[in-house]
Amino acid sequence: MRIAVIGLGYVGLVTAASLSDTGHHVIGYDADTEKLESLWNAEIPFFEPGLAQLVAKNVDRETLSFSSTLDTAIQDREIIFIAVGTPPGSDGSADLTNIYQVIDSLGQLLDRAVTIVIKSTVPVGTNQAIDHTLNSLLKSRGLQLSCDIVSNPEFLREGNALYDVAHPDRIVIGARSRRAFDTMRELYSPSQFTCPVLEMEPASAELSKYAANAFLASRISFVNELSRLADAVGADIEQISIALGTDDRIGPHFLRAGLGYGGSCFPKDILSLQHMYREQGIDSALTNSIQQVNSEQRNFFATKAIRHFGDAIDGSTIALWGLTFKPDTDDMREAPSLELAQLLLKAGAALRLYDPVLNAAIRERFPDDSQLEFADDMYEAARGADAVVLVTEWIEFAEPDFSKLRGLMRTPVLFDGRNLWDPAVARSEGFTYYGVGRP
């Protein structure tokens, strides 16, 4: 099929590259000409494992191309994906400015009926509003066209996005016509995708995205809040999580205690969901508490370090291992490291920071502070440090050389913010060990 993808940020580029890899002919549109020049050379503006190779492969196959001219990008296309950003506004609602700019442009350019697929995360009712706006614009030009507007939310995990596109748990399609459903089923051919394809009204499809993220975020906040009780009574949250996860009614996913969630999706979608509840006059104590617990978790963990050192934290040196909000990405949006760094700096500690994909964009997110420096190696970050704080569970941190690490540090103290290490092993190597909800 001939496809256009409007917006080549994270979701748009992953979608364009993945669809082109299944044999569809895809043109990606973005107004940023510098970005497009980089994409033609498979230079990706963010870190996602395997994406650069996938882009290069399909550019060479000529199933993937790019354009900075919208008219060119949508010419002869059967399906147009919209994957532009919908950032949170000051009241938590999703800012749909980018979406409607695209719709206005399409309303002036389209000369035939096409299927328009909303991939961006949008609040309930957006599909219906877009349908009315676009088809009104077309009628104002004297065109008797009826474009199908489809809601097709993404459920990608940063760091695993290519796998998630190729092996989805389900494909959600929200539409109003049999024609639209049939078009999407042709796009997601059973020969390529064997997962359930769920057909529903657009409002249900739109809310499904928010429901999934809010539910997963609630599991994270639940286990993190429970970890505080485990800390207080001497229980082990890791053993409790196993007991929970082996219950078939619950399952093991998203039950790891730590420093909470970050990134763009969970925080933004919780805010938008809260706004939708308020608009409908519905009180949701559960949804409101998810983000509160998440934010408190960073303070709870930072307090462990501050209490351990007491007055001696003023003048101490602490190494932070891992800065991104999760492994296998360079995304710093709502990353726990940002809040931890602020709290520790305020307490008087000097910080030495290291991340496996440390780049200029990551460095810029931290304050220009004389008490803060960056290291190019995990062990260099720990040299002369009074403590190491594990923030992000990158694979290279899983099995450090504890003997080497102890020899480098001024005082052997570990704060394991992801419960990545075995406390018994760390203590046997001479370390004072603090985890999350572990005795």
Active site residues per annotation: 265
CA gap 72, 50 in Å, rounded: 28
Q: What is the DSSP letter of 125?
A: T
CB 306 within 8 Å of CB 313: yes
For 115: left if phi > 0, alpha if psi spans -120 to 50, otherwise beta; the answer is beta
- Provide the terminal-to-terminal Cα distance of the chain, rounded to the nearest Å: 57
Closest listed residue to residue 436, CA positions, set 318, 295, 317, 304: 304
Number of residues written out for the chain = 439
Q: What angle do helix axes 51-60 and 10-21 make, rounded to 10 degrees? A: 50
The residues that bridge with 26 in the sheet, in sequence order, are 3, 64
* Residue with tokens 């499809």, as numbered in its chain: 205
CA gap 223, 221 in Å, rounded: 6
Helices (H), 261-401: 265-279, 285-309, 336-347, 360-363, 378-382
